Structure formats: C-alpha cells, structure tokens
Amino acid sequence: MGFTSPLLLVGFLALPLLWILLRAVPPAAIRRRFAGVALLLGLADKTQQADKTPWWLLVLRMMALAAAIVAFAGPVVNPTVGNRASAPLMIVMDGGWADAFDWSRRHAKAASLLEAAETSGRAVALVQLSDPQPPLGFQAASEVRGKLAGFAPRSWQPQALASWRDALPQGPFDTAWISDGLAHSGQAELITALEQHGQVEVFASDHPIYALGPAVQADGKVTLTVQRLAAGLPASVTLIARGPDPAGVERELVRQRVDFAAQDTSAKAQLDLPAELRNRITRFALEGQRSAGAVTLAGDTLKRRKVALVSDTADGEGLQLLSPLHYLRQALAPSSDLLTAGLGDVLPTKPDVIILADAAQVPPAQTAVLRAWVEKGGLLLRFAGPRLAASDMAALAGDPLMPVALRQGGLTSGGAMSWGAPKALAQFGANSLFHGLTVPSDIQVRTQVLAQPDPDLPTRTLAALDDGTPLVTRKALGLGQVVLFHVTASAEWSDLPLSGLFVQMLERLAVSGTSGSAGVDVVAGLIWTPEHVLDGWGDLADPATLAGVPGEALVDTLAQGPSAKVPAGLYRHDGLGLALNAVPVDQPLVGATWPLNIAVQGLTLPSQIVLKGPVLALAMLLLLFDAVATLALTQRLGFVRRVGVGMLLALALLAPSQKAQADAAADQRAIAATQGVVLAYVMTGEPAVDATSAAGLQGLSDQLIYRTTIEPLAPMGVDVEKDEVVFFPFLYWPLTADAPTPSAAGYDKLNHYLRMGGMILFDTRDADVAGVATGSAPTPEGQALQRIAQGLDIPPLAPLPVDHVLTRSFFLLQTFPGRFTEGGLWVEAPPPDAAKTDGMPFRNLNDGVTPVVIGGNDWASAWAVDDNGWPLLPVGRGAAGDQQREYAYRFGINLIMHVLTGNYKSDQVHVPALLERLGK
C-alpha cells in the first residue's frame, strides 16, 4: 500500500477546521439601506436555517472529505517501487527478430521499469543491442521514455556485443536485461562487464522461439528446416507458403504441418509442388509466429526456369557428345525445366530462356515473333558454331537478334594451320556481369567468331580472351536481352563448356536458377541493391536509403545471418534476385546462458492496483448520502422517496424476466429489420462512432427516399457477436483502432452473410492514410482492418476499376468522397480475362455484387444528419463542401443500388447481342 502523492494527505489537517466551519453558524446580517423596505414589511422568511448541523451529518461530511483527500493522494496497493537502490539503471533490450513475437510485452516491461525508475528518481540508460551502438550515458527516465517508442525488433541479431563492453559508462549502475532468449556473440563478456558495475537482472519470455531456415530445392522438392529453441515436448507448427495467384493477388499457396518429436530441436518440411505453383512462391512463414526469423523469402531460389533448347541440327544419328546441346543440357538439367524443339514449337510455350545453338539465321517468319518475345523480357542465348561462322555476315549485320556485328569467317588459333597458341580467358572486368568468378587457367579457346570493331563493343562485352577478343557479348533489346557466346556450346571450339565456369556463367545470366545454397560464386563480385528489406516482424519494407552491398559482404551474411549494414531482405543485381533471410542456413538456435547468480525473471508486470477511482467513488457516495440526509432534515424527502421507491420497484420487476425479454427483444428486432429495407451498421462500442454511423445511415436513407424508389426504414445498429445479420442487405462497418476481433462464431456468421450476398462497407475513416490503397505504413485503423478482415472470406480485391458497375448503378460517378476525398476504393477484383467488347463503353466485369467495399473516406460523417435533417458534421468548405457532400450521397445511393440490384447495369453489355438475336 502506498500513495502516489502522499503530500496531499496533509489535507487531513484541514478536517478540524471544517468541523468548525460546517457547524453552520448563521452568517452575520448585512445592513442595507433600501427605499423599498416599506414593501418588505410583513414578508416572512420561507425557511428557518438550522443553527447547528446534527453531529451525524457532520461526521458523514467529514468522512466524505477524508475519502476525497485519500483518493487524491493516490492510494496504490502493491505499488511499483523498483529496487530501492538509487544507482542508475541500464535497461538493455536485445531487439533481434526473436523479440518480435511478444514485443509488446517486452515494450511494456521496459516501460514499467522506466516508470519504476522515474518514481524512485533513478537515472536511466536505454539501449537496444541490435542497433548501432549509441553513446551510453544516463539520463532522467522521462527523457528516455521517447527513445523507447523508437525501438523495434530488427531482422538481424545483436552482434559483437563484446565491443559494447568498452563503451559502458563509468561508476556503479544496475542493469535490467530484457533478453530474447537467444545467445548472441559476445554476450557472456558483456554480462561479465555489467556485473562488475552492479546488479544484473534478466527478464525473458517463456514463449517458444521458432526459426525457419532458407528453402532448399533438391530433387524437385523444396525442403525447409524449422528449428526451435527448447526441446522437451512434442510440438507442431504450420508452415505456409505465400505467393501471387494467377490474378497477381498475394495469397496462401501451400500449408503444411511440421511436427517436432519430443526431443527434436529441428524438423524438416518437404514440399512436393507442381512447378507452376513452386515458381510463384515468394515467401514461407510459420503461422502464428510473427517475426523475421519465422519468415523465409524465396527470392529466385525456387524458380525453375523454362529453358528452350533450339538446334537446327537435325536430331539424328550423331554422337550424343558431339551434340551442340549436350553440355547445355548437362549444365541446366538440375536447375531448369528443359524443352527441346524447333523454334516454332517453342515460342508458344512461353519459355524464360531460348537458347539457339549455332543458328545463323532465324527463319524470317519467326524473327518478328522472337523479337517480340525478347522485347517482352525474354533472354535469347546464342552460341556460335560452324554454320554461324560460315553464314553471310553482311546479312547478319543489322540483325537485332545478334548483339554485335560479326566478321566473316572466324578465328582459329593454335591449330595446325595457325601460328598462335590457343587463347585463354582474361579475368572478368569490374563492370562485367561475371565479375568475381574465378577463371580456371586451363580453359583454351581454339576457335571463335570475331566481332566487328564498334564503339559499343566494349560495353557489350561480358567476357573476353586474354588478348581482348570478345568471347561473350550482350545487347539489351526491349525488356529482354540477347547474349552471344562466340564459341560453340560443345567442346568443339573451346574447353569452356567443360568447365565449372560455364555453369556459373549460366547462373549469372539467370539462365539457370541458383542452387539452394546460393553459391558464393554467384554472389561475389557483384554489387547487390536491396529491393525490399525485412523488418523484425517479418514484413517487407522499403529499403529507403540503404546502399548497395558488395557480394563479398553478402557471402558472409549468408553464412552468418544479416546485420544492421546488410539487413535481411531481397537483393537484386540486374536480373538476379537473391533472398537474404534472418536465419542463415545450417545455423542452429542457441539459447542464452546466464551466470548462475543471475535469476531469470518472466516478463510479468507488477500487478499494481490503483485505488483512486474506488475511493473517489466512495467519497461521491457519501456526498450522495449527505444530500439525501440534508433533504430529509429539511422535510423535502417526499419526492425523492417516491422516485427511489419507483426505481427499486422497476429494478425488482426487471430482474427475473430479463432472459425472456432478451428473446422477445431479438424477435422484435427481427420483425423490425424485415419490415422493409434496413441499412445497418456495426456497433464499434465507441458511442461517438456509433452515433455518427446511425446518423449517417439515417441521412443516406433520407436521400434514398427522396431520390429513388428505395425507401429504407430507420437504420439499425448491429452487434456482430449477438445479433443476426442476415436481414440486412448492407452493413456499414466503421473501424476503430481497438475494434474487437470477432469470435469464431462471429466470423462464421459474417462469412455466411457474405456468401448469402450481403455486402460490408469497411470504412477506416482515416482518408486512406491506412494505406489500403498505397501500401504505406498502416494506421491503427488500417491494422484493425487487416486484423478483422483476415478471418473473413473475402475474394481478391482491386482498386475500383473505372468501368465498375458502382460508377453507374444510379448516378454516373468517378469520385467517391466522404468527409475525405483522397482515399481510394477497393472492391472485388475483376476477373483477369475481362476484356472490352467492341462498341461497349465498359467491360463485362464480375457477375455479382462485390461482397466488400473497403475505403477510408469516413462516409457516415458526410451522410450524417441530425433529427431535423440538417447535416450534422461539416464537410469541406463552402459550396465545394456542399458539392462534396452531394457526391458522398450519390456514392451512397450508387452503393445501395448496387447492393439491391446487383450487376443489373452491367447487363447492358448484352444489349447488342439481344438486339441482334431479336432482329433475326
């Protein structure tokens, strides 16, 4: 028991004074000269004031005052009084991904430690070990509080903690370490250093930590390793693979349970997936584990490219080893889907890569098709050969499907007919795509085709011989590129196809997918720009100003895990994508070990009970008694007695029949809701929001009655948990930050409602700052929307297409303002194959009513009217505001029309067909 402001208790000294004051000695009379006194003579006083207050009333009043004094002094049971020590306190948070799952509890714990320190006046230093090391100094707790809000879990682990040791402030201080439960490098040294300064307390969560390793592809199966920190009990987690569906909407693709046996700390999940599905996977995540460690980005790892091998050589009796495609097949087969056919057959299958081995001239019929394919992003890989060398180079000079112009004939060196020795490969230049690959010295190039000297040649050259002759050249064409190896794909002209370098070059060219471990050879030597980074919670974020990372640094982090400089995320170089995950492959989870003298405590907060409210209520109750007693003393209690008895009677009558009344009320409600069209809103529990919703729907109902044949009854509020919703064609759901998530039964009811053709308009009421449309950081309302909508059976959504039926179901509209105008509107996505018919102004979109409409323009506020039908809330300014309100009403009318008439207006698409049929 304690008081937050005990000094106020001095107020008790005033009680005796009050005793004297409250004894109600009548005040001395004022002498007043007044001419009208003649009129006053004979008027009697209505009340005779008592000379003294009865003692019991006095006691009652004193008790009320005493209760008030105690209440304002802030009585607290079990108060948060930290360690009585006055030494400064250092609060250390790990801040790695393992913190993410129960970050709010850690945050609350740190806040409570701060509060305790503030109460006892201790200076505080607050550090997050995963962040770059700040200057460590102690400040007042109130100063540090703001810093805590800036902390967030990172996608990397704290590293090199030993270096923090040297930066510790001088002098004694205590430490509270809120640990994520994992061991970090240098942790032991840091603890030892901290213990030399003072007492160290450790707080850790009991939440199990799961980590998901990178996906490895082997034998057509995708294997993922799930690790957990503590063995002991059997457990199971659910692995979810996500990726875009054919319509481009990200959704869950695969779900698989991963079981841990009692003693296992790691388990493997094997996914055997069709190639189409596997190629689409962008990330794996463990369900219910919200942290970067439980997320694995797929990157390009899982993509198996479809490579088409085209050779003009008639497949026949030739020796396999002499086939120009043999080495390519060998190199590509493990990581790609191969297709061997003529060019005409290959193109319709939409391959990622087409390899032309020694084909001089593409048949003119297919040139245009092939070129179009390349310009759309295809990679055309060509190899030289005897036929190319022998072809008419002049005719090839302007060929866009050839990266450089070639000289007639070729160059043969080191043969019986030439002076020179076979050429070796030069090291790759820094600008080359192949930079960083080691060139084996034993590769010899005996014959090659030669490029015409050209100003563009150096920039197009990817690899050259040691005398500078280009060996591999490349030219961009549209979105795609054309690459020419100036040698054959077989070992005929050079040793290159025999070497490992050949495979690596193909990987670099993104001809073949990188193998599961993302080999060092692919990564090193290139600059990788971060495309997306993972935050601590496992969500993708914008990398902002993060600089590109040299491949060598990336190789280290791939093995050891990301760091602040190289955070986890998706990195890209040219066409190559690389996923850097929070948990590196083959790195086991190691639990933190603490010295034996340090007890590890849980994250529970001290259960402090603040008594201010109840005591203040007691004071109020006493004052109420005082009022009644005063009334009784002045014989004015009759009225109060009558009212009181009436209320007691009413309570007594109400109590037993409550249940029966509830049923009857539900029936009444159902009857009221089915008397006509009733617009309904979901009650959020915030009175202001609910009142606005009711007033808004009332305003919309009024407008519908004025302008359309829809004549809704008074709108009703709906509690999705308790009330039946199927009666309502339309639910308006304003979202508040702390809107409760519906229960399973509630979700069942809502999903049933949506399936039966109901519509819900979700309104985040934040002008779409929620970023539903933009994908920026969500507001609290936006998060509530995500949370609530997760359990709903909602089809893929898309921003409202301009030809959606909502834009013309009653009024012709292209804007949908409420109180705000900026926010976009999301509705069920149109089918991907929706196409515009000739002569029709719009496409034939969804057949049916979109089950949800999502936006943030706060429509109810714009619609809201008061009891007299006047607008309740201001919208915009002046005439523009009136117009905005008018458009808000029009949107509402369109929406209700859409709800009630479905795609009726879209059926106009069929009018020409019907007319034609009638004509016949």
Interacting residues with other proteins (CB under 8 A): 26-41, 43, 45-49
Q: Which residue has tokens 């990178």? A: 214
Nearer to other proteins, 40 or 652 (CB): 40
Beta carbon of residue 857, minimum distance to other proteins (angstroms, whole number): 55
Nearer to other proteins, 48 or 104 (CB): 48
Beta carbon of residue 634, minimum distance to other proteins (angstroms, whole number): 13
Nearer to other proteins, 37 or 688 (CB): 37
Beta carbon of residue 37, minimum distance to other proteins (angstroms, whole number): 4
Nearer to other proteins, 53 or 692 (CB): 53
Nearer to other proteins, 50 or 609 (CB): 50
Nearer to other proteins, 7 or 28 (CB): 28
Q: Are the C-beta atoms of 59 and 591 separated by less than 8 Å?
A: no
Query: 496: closest CA among 568, 550, 447?
Result: 447
**Cα dist from 824 to 15, 29, 247, 877, 892, whole Å:** 63, 73, 20, 21, 15
CA atoms of 177 and 203, how far apart (whole Å) = 6
Sign of CA pseudo-dihedral 722, 725, 728, 734: positive
Nearer to other proteins, 27 or 316 (CB): 27
Nearer to other proteins, 36 or 455 (CB): 36
Beta carbon of residue 637, minimum distance to other proteins (angstroms, whole number): 20
Nearer to other proteins, 34 or 56 (CB): 34
CA atoms of 775 and 768, how far apart (whole Å) = 10
Nearer to other proteins, 49 or 837 (CB): 49
Sign of CA pseudo-dihedral 93, 95, 99, 104: positive
CA atoms of 633 and 636, how far apart (whole Å) = 8
Nearer to other proteins, 40 or 653 (CB): 40
Query: 682: closest CA among 579, 758, 624, 599?
Result: 758
What is the DSSP pairing of strand 680-682 with strand 716-718?
A: parallel
Q: Which residue has tokens 């450089």? A: 404
Nearer to other proteins, 30 or 651 (CB): 30
CA–centroid distance for 232 within its chain:
33
Structure tokens at 452: 């015409």
Nearer to other proteins, 30 or 835 (CB): 30
Nearer to other proteins, 37 or 314 (CB): 37
Beta carbon of residue 42, minimum distance to other proteins (angstroms, whole number): 8
DSSP 259-275: EE-TT-SEEEEEEE--H
H helices of 207-299, in order, are 275-280
Nearer to other proteins, 39 or 688 (CB): 39
Beta carbon of residue 25, minimum distance to other proteins (angstroms, whole number): 11
Beta carbon of residue 631, minimum distance to other proteins (angstroms, whole number): 18
End-to-end CA distance of the chain: 94
Q: Are the C-beta atoms of 504 and 522 separated by less than 8 Å?
A: yes
CA atoms of 611 and 77, how far apart (whole Å) = 7
Beta carbon of residue 633, minimum distance to other proteins (angstroms, whole number): 16
Q: Are the C-beta atoms of 869 and 860 separated by less than 8 Å?
A: no
Nearer to other proteins, 40 or 660 (CB): 40
Instruction: Report helix, strand or coil for 27.
Output: coil
Hey, what amino acid is at 72? F
Beta carbon of residue 823, minimum distance to other proteins (angstroms, whole number): 58
Quote the longest CA-to-CA distance of the chain: 149
Beta carbon of residue 17, minimum distance to other proteins (angstroms, whole number): 22
Q: Which residue has tokens 């117009």? A: 883
- 330, HSE (Cβ side, Cα atoms, 13 Å): 15
Beta carbon of residue 48, minimum distance to other proteins (angstroms, whole number): 7
Nearer to other proteins, 25 or 756 (CB): 25
Query: 394: closest CA among 425, 361, 441, 427?
Result: 361
CA atoms of 746 and 755, how far apart (whole Å) = 14
**∠ CA(462), CA(466), CA(469), 5° rounding?**
55
User: What angle separates helix 55-72 from helix 14-22, to the nearest 10 degrees?
Assistant: 150
CA–centroid distance for 156 within its chain:
18
Cβ neighbours for 724, distance < 8 A, ≥ 6 positions apart:
666, 669, 670, 749
At residue 835, φ and ψ (nearest 5 deg) are: -130, 155
Beta carbon of residue 45, minimum distance to other proteins (angstroms, whole number): 5
Cβ neighbours for 374, distance < 8 A, ≥ 6 positions apart:
380, 401, 477, 478, 480, 481, 482
CA atoms of 255 and 257, how far apart (whole Å) = 7
User: What angle separates helix 878-901 from helix 687-707, to the nearest 10 degrees?
Assistant: 80
Instruction: Give 731's strand partners.
Output: 680, 760
Beta carbon of residue 61, minimum distance to other proteins (angstroms, whole number): 21
CA atoms of 182 and 320, how far apart (whole Å) = 55
Nearer to other proteins, 37 or 321 (CB): 37
What is the DSSP pairing of strand 447-451 with strand 406-412?
A: antiparallel
Beta carbon of residue 731, minimum distance to other proteins (angstroms, whole number): 57
CA atoms of 679 and 567, how far apart (whole Å) = 49
Beta carbon of residue 47, minimum distance to other proteins (angstroms, whole number): 7
Beta carbon of residue 22, minimum distance to other proteins (angstroms, whole number): 18
CA–centroid distance for 880 within its chain:
36
Beta carbon of residue 50, minimum distance to other proteins (angstroms, whole number): 11
